[in-house]
Structure 1
Amino acid sequence: MAEINHFEYGWITPALSYALSVLGSILGLVCAGRIRRAQTNGQRAWWGLLSAWALGGTAIWAMHFMAMLGFAVENTRIRYDVPLTVASTAIAVVAVGIGLAIVGTGRLNAVRLIAGGIFTGAGVASMHYTGMAAMRLNGSLDYDTVRVVLSVVIAVVASTVALWLAMTVRRGLAIFASALVMGVAVNGMHFTGMSALSVHRHERAGEVTGAGVSTLLVPIMLAVIFGVVGLLYALLAAPTDDDRAAAAYLDGRRVAEPAAATPVAAPDPVGLRARSTLGQPGTPFPSRRDTPPR
């Protein structure tokens, strides 16, 4: 059995993985808070997609591979199968997106929350072990069943709590505190699953094929950076409740201008107006019938 080191570079990789999970959780919670306040189905789908990418893509998947930078096995190189690595990304984002769709439509209740948490937790665990299956090294991977089950339970509980927080937390300080808790849960699930792993080296050293960690690191970091920048831009560009309230107030104050009133002639009981215009060009001479009797 080969010796495994989960912290090859010391505290830097777990610290960065925790920071990524907290950052993704903050952005995901903020985006998820817009789902129930959205006024159209298109807006709900948009904020759900952004929240799924923040939680699934940054808080879970990017955190996983940042932690894997510190993973090493003695006397063997580690490579990654690129298609399986990409598949693990899709699993994380889709699982979180479906979980948000379950709890974000209709009235939030225990049944919806538990169903969404189970589905999302299973997806998170699938992402983790798919990412582990993408590893290529000179040996075979074995897992302790009890710890694998424990990691899945942690993933389901963490996902349920995350979905509940996503639908209920609104204030800035509460979102930050919730993201700290979610970061602990996500990292706890990851390292519990990693503790279940054991590697049996092969006697004959063969050629290890696949992409190296340094090769994957650049696209992963670029995806995280552009994803975070895009999420921040979407949040800053979207109108807030105060903006909508101000627009409604201004619309309420806009009153249509009244139409010009038709002039009303003053009463002329003795025909003074007719006498004053008598003799002017274009004024007809009064007939005998129009002349008042003497």
Structure 2
Amino acid sequence: MTATVSNFYYGAVTPIAAYLMACLGAALGLRCTTRSLRRPQRRAGWLALGAIAIGCGIWTMHFIAMIGFSVQNALVSYDASKTLLSLVVAIAVVALGVFLVGYRGRSPLTLATAGTVTGLGVAAMHYLGMSAIHTNGTISYDPLTVVLSVVIAVTAATAALWAAVSIHALWASLGASLVMGVAVTGMHYTGMAAVSVHITGPAASAQSSTELLSFLLVMLAGPLTVLLVAAVIVMFDPDMMLGDDGDRAPTAPHEIGADHPLQQPSW
């Protein structure tokens, strides 16, 4: 029996919260990347923090959205190890893309390579997280919709990486993060539209959400804390929140000459 699948068990609450988390991760990542280009002496640290923020934002978006996932006549649970592994994948692939553009610049080839790798990794995170689901049925996917979700992921990742090294003004980066949040969340719900569940075991009498909600909230606690810490670092770094980035931030180390002010030590 093919079960009815819903991604809105709690109405609009989970999609809105998921979108806000995607925007938060994107905004923090953009500001950290801007900071890395303004301060090449600490480039690696800022790029790492930006990658962690974006990765945690994407992963948190995914699993907040999954709180609203329900299957009629089925109980849903998650494998903890696969769930945590999907978080590692999200951070690792974002880090790869961010470090590529952070050190190699925004040439079309670099952006295409980094965007493709990162987008495929984000899609892998999504479907790895989906593989962690346990239910009394089998989950299948519509291939064309899956391909569409991967295309959206690659496009969103490429746009995000371009924005990270191209947009430096505060309000412009905040606006870009809102657009990126739409793209990342859209990729998630496109992927979820590909899902169908065929019940193979005894049907559950009702959808029980208490244990599932508790599990996901525990899983979300760590990444949410990381995002909070990243936000505090961004807010308390004076140069990070400057709205006027008058001096063009270099896009690659070779663009910085020996007499460039960014090479001078700050006291």
User: TM-score, structure 2 length as denominator?
Assistant: 0.84
- Residue in 1 that maps onto 2:70: 72
Code of the residue aligned with 1:26 in structure 2: it is A
Shift of 1:79: 0.4
Shift of 1:148: 0.4
Shift of 1:237: 4.5
Considering Cα pairs closer than 8 Å and 6+ residues apart, tell me whether 1 or 2 has the greater RCO. Answer: 2
Q: Cα distance 1:28–1:189, how it changes in 2: closer, same or farther (>3 A)?
A: same
Q: Does 1:164 align with 2:165?
A: no
Code of the residue aligned with 1:90 in structure 2: it is V
Shift of 1:156: 0.2
- Residue in 1 that maps onto 2:87: 89
**Aligned mates of 1:76, 1:161 — CA distance in 2:** 38
- Runs of 4 or more above 6 Å deviation: none
Q: Deviations over 1:47-85 (max 9, x none)?
A: 111111111111x10000000011100111100000000
Q: Deviations over 1:112-170 (max 9, x none)?
A: 00000000000000000000000000000110100000100000000000000011111
- Residue in 1 that maps onto 2:184: 186
Shift of 1:229: 2.6
- Residue in 2 that maps onto 1:233: 232
**Aligned mates of 2:220, 2:178 — CA distance in 1:** 21
Shift of 1:216: 2.5
CA contact (8 A) 1:62 1:220 kept: no
- Residue in 2 that maps onto 1:52: 51
Q: Does 1:125 align with 2:123?
A: yes
- Residue in 2 that maps onto 1:9: 10
- Residue in 2 that maps onto 1:278: none
CA contact (8 A) 2:73 2:203 kept: no
**Aligned mates of 1:85, 1:231 — CA distance in 2:** 22
User: TM-score, structure 1 length as denominator?
Assistant: 0.76
- Residue in 2 that maps onto 1:146: 144
Map 1:234-273 onto structure 2 (within 5 A). 234-238=233-237, 240=239
Q: Secondary structure at the match of 2:184?
A: helix
Q: Deviations over 1:222-249 (max 9, x none)?
A: 224421231123224546288xx9xx8x
How many equivalent pairs are there? 240
Map 1:197-208 onto structure 2 (within 5 A). 197-204=195-202
CA contact (8 A) 1:95 1:120 kept: yes
**Aligned mates of 2:33, 2:101 — CA distance in 1:** 10
Q: Deviations over 1:179-235 (max 9, x none)?
A: 1100110011000000001100014469xxxx9422323334422442123112322
**Structure 2: unaligned runs, 5 residues or longer:** 205-209, 243-260
CA contact (8 A) 2:56 2:227 kept: no
**Sequence identity (%):** 40
- Residue in 1 that maps onto 2:256: none
- Larger Cα Rg: Structure 1 or Structure 2? 1
**Aligned mates of 1:179, 1:121 — CA distance in 2:** 16
Code of the residue aligned with 1:202 in structure 2: it is T
Q: Secondary structure at the match of 1:200?
A: strand
**Aligned mates of 1:237, 1:2 — CA distance in 2:** 49
**Structure 1: unaligned runs, 5 residues or longer:** 252-294
